[in-house]
Amino acid sequence: MHSLTVSKVTLTYPDGADRITALDSVDLWVGGGEIAAITGPSGSGKSSLLAVVSTLIRPDSGSIRLDTASGTADLVGLSRGEAARLRREQIGIVFQQSNLVPALTALEQLEAMAHLGQHLIIPPSIRRETRSRARDLLASVGLSGQEHKRPAQLSGGQRQRVNIARALMNDPALLVIDEPTSALDQDRGAAIIDLILDVVHTHDTATLLVTHDRSHLHQMDAVYRMVDGVLTIDESVNLAA
């Protein structure tokens, strides 16, 4: 079963002669098929936490363990090359902005993700399998018939759906999502949250979701609040049973 375990993680940044604490002995656990939401004011350390668990930044101290179908990975002790490979194979990242490649169609966005790090010459059979999986994922996020449209031809909600499908292309054990509804109106934002809930449960993915929108927090499996680098359970939210 997939799971993410964060134990006593501390991260500081230089600030002149001193250092600023971005993460202060953070503990967190999220299991496969579950979503842990993280709220808190801007600059409180939420994005730093996402960067650390995504292996984009190495913390000063603490441990981060990702349990996958193929074993357990120590995310803090990885080399740069090992971290890059793990991100490709086991971690899906959904950025606040879709970051889609303007020249690629929706289908090609997913195919490019699948082929990252592979040899330039890809056998036709692998290409066919990749295209089939990309089509199935786009259909699963409600984009059947939109496969050959480029980002400029898609709405904001559709672009975010492509973004989510792309993050799932390599069937990750961990999904990290940063403000997925910030650029959407309330109805489209609610639809994206419903989609995330569905794909997380379907793919048994352990998921961290940073959000400022409290309207959907009751749908999460756990809700945390980050203030000045300190992470605590948000007991003000009544979670669905």
| DSSP-derived secondary structure letter, 184 | S
Radius of gyration from C-alpha coordinates of the chain: 18
Between CA 162 and CA 204, with CA 158 as vertex, the angle to 5 degrees is: 45
By C-alpha distance, which of 131, 61, 47 is closest to 93?
A: 47
Question: What per-residue string of b and e applies to 204-220 under the rule 16 or more CB within 10 Å gives b?
Answer: ebbbbbbbebeebbebb
- Note the pLDDT of residue 79: 92
Residue length of the chain: 241
| pTM of the complete model beyond 0.75 | yes
- In this prediction, residue 118 has a pLDDT band, given cuts at 50, 70 and 90, of low
Q: What is the pLDDT of residues 148-200, one digit of tens each?
A: 999 999 998 899 899 989 998 888 999 999 988 887 888 888 888 998 999 89
* pLDDT at 221 > cutoff 70: yes
pLDDT of residue 12: 95
| CATH number of this structure's domain 3-233 | 3.40.50.300
What's the Cα-to-Cα distance from 76 to each of 30, 70, 223, 229, rounded to whole Å? 17, 18, 24, 18
Distances 60 to 14, 42, 43, 52 between C-alpha atoms, Å: 12, 22, 19, 10
Instruction: Give the lowest-confidence range in 32-46, 110-124, 174-188.
Output: 110-124
How confident is the model at residue 120, as a pLDDT? 63
Q: How confident is the model at residue 119 (pLDDT cuts 50, 70, 90)?
A: low
Backbone angles phi, psi at 18, to 5 degrees: -110, -175
AA identity, residue 101? V
| Per-residue burial over 37-74, b = 16 or more CB atoms within 10 Å of its CB, e = otherwise | bbbbeeebbbbbbbbbbbbebebeebebebbbeeeebe
CA 132 to CA 91: how far, in whole Å?
21
**Residue 146 pLDDT:** 94
Asked if 42 and 22 count as a contact pair (C-beta separation under 8 A), the reply is no
Residue 24 near residue 210 (C-beta atoms within 8 A): no
Tell me, what amino acid is at 74? D
Per-residue confidence at 1, pLDDT binned at 50, 70, 90?
confident
Instruction: Give residue 39's pLDDT band: very low, low, confident or very high (50, 70, 90).
Output: very high
Q: Which of 193, 197, 195 is nearest to 185 (CA)?
A: 193
Q: In this model, does residue 126 exceed pLDDT 90? A: no
Q: Please say if the pLDDT value at position 98 is more than 80.
A: no
% of the chain exceeding 90 in pLDDT: 61
Is pLDDT above 70 for 209? Answer: yes
Q: Enter the tokens of residue 30.
A: 């999220």
